Structure 1
Amino acid sequence: MNAQNVEMQDVNAALIAADVMMGVAARSVAEVEDIVTSPQLRVLVTIATRGSQNLGEIAAELGVHASNATRTSEKLVHAGLIARAEDPADRRFVRLTLTPQGAALVDQVIEHRRAALAEVLAAMEPEERARAAEGFRAFARAAGGRHGDDGRFTLMRPVLSGDA
């Protein structure tokens, strides 16, 4: 089946569900906006989901010049949310990792999202919830299991080896 054969009502249903999930993500960002800015949260989630990063990788992720990535990262270092260390493979580079405080902030955002989604799912009848969960799994499979690492929208944090 191609995209032209998909019923518009099915697309609209997916858009409505996506809008609800985006609202959940937006509320969790608002919960920490007195601590970090949206770009800073994006840096934290990038490190949380991909492991330690260098400044070039952060600049590429944010789509900014390296000097902007440096300033953003410096603010996070001074806030105690990330740590800076020499890259063991190339001492010209600095590796950025989450501190326990930074990991806790990311976990707080992700937990807020989990709790909000659990609340919505709990409001459903068990049979509806089971059908919705199967639909979510099928949707993720059809998309190739891809997910975003952008902290503004990421709804879960994968477990990485060497995570802070």
Structure 2
Amino acid sequence: MNADSNAPSPTDATLTASRALLGIVARSVASALEVVTLPQFRVLVLLSNDGPTRLGSLAERIGALPSTFSRSVDRMVAGGWVERSLREDNRREILLDLTEDGRRLVDSVTERRRREIRTVLDALPADDQALVARAFDAFNRAAGEPTVDDLLTLGL
């Protein structure tokens, strides 16, 4: 706390907000974890963001050995979340992409997260909502994008 007020310090306020956001993230992904593992969900998110990706590139990006990663991909293919195809210009390269079910899973988690954040923001007056948006925008610019390793820890 600041000595001259009862307001928490910026660090303490941000730490508390990060716990609230982590709770939202955990609740939003919980139902997905009934059908895929956290690392598998992260692969689905990467494919959702990047589109079709070479198996080897994706394995490298998440820090997995291609042979180990290939077994995980086998399970995602069998589960109907991911599909494999051969690159037309290089038939030795395997591309991975989301199936419709995989896309729906990622989209449902994102929408659940969006609804819960909206509920929290709706509890605030409009001026505070604008203040939160500006503060998060400034925080995001200062923090930069998290690394893949950072996000893989939580499967995000």
Give your verdict on TM over 0.5. Answer: yes
Q: TM-score, normalised by structure 1?
A: 0.80
Deviation per residue, 1:137-159 (Å, 9 max, x gap): 22223334x256647464xxxxx
Q: Give the greater-gyration-radius structure (CA).
A: 2
In the alignment, what sits opposite 2:113?
113
Unaligned runs of 5+ in 1: 1-7, 155-164
> Equivalent residues in 2 for 1:5-154 (5 A)?
9-144=9-144, 146=145, 150=151, 152=154, 154=156
Q: Is the 8 A contact 2:38 2:155 kept in 1?
A: no
Deviation per residue, 1:81-139 (Å, 9 max, x gap): 11110012321110001111110000011111111111111111221111111111222
Distance 1:47 1:83, change over 3 A: same
Alignment partners' CA distance in 1, 2:125 and 2:146: 27
Q: Is the 8 A contact 1:25 1:153 kept in 2?
A: no
Alignment partners' CA distance in 1, 2:50 and 2:117: 24
Alignment partners' CA distance in 1, 2:121 and 2:12: 19
Q: Is the 8 A contact 2:42 2:155 kept in 1?
A: no
Higher share of residues assigned helix? 2
Counterpart secondary structure, 1:121: helix
Unaligned runs of 5+ in 2: 1-7
Which structure is higher in RCO with an 8 Å CA cutoff and minimum separation 6? 1
Identity in percent: 36
Alignment partners' CA distance in 2, 1:114 and 1:107: 10
Matched to 2:17, the amino acid is: A
- The count of aligned residue pairs is 146
Q: Is the 8 A contact 1:80 1:99 kept in 2?
A: yes
Matched to 2:22, the amino acid is: M
Q: TM-score, normalised by structure 2?
A: 0.84
Alignment partners' CA distance in 2, 1:72 and 1:45: 15
Alignment partners' CA distance in 2, 1:60 and 1:116: 33
Offset, 1:20: 1.2
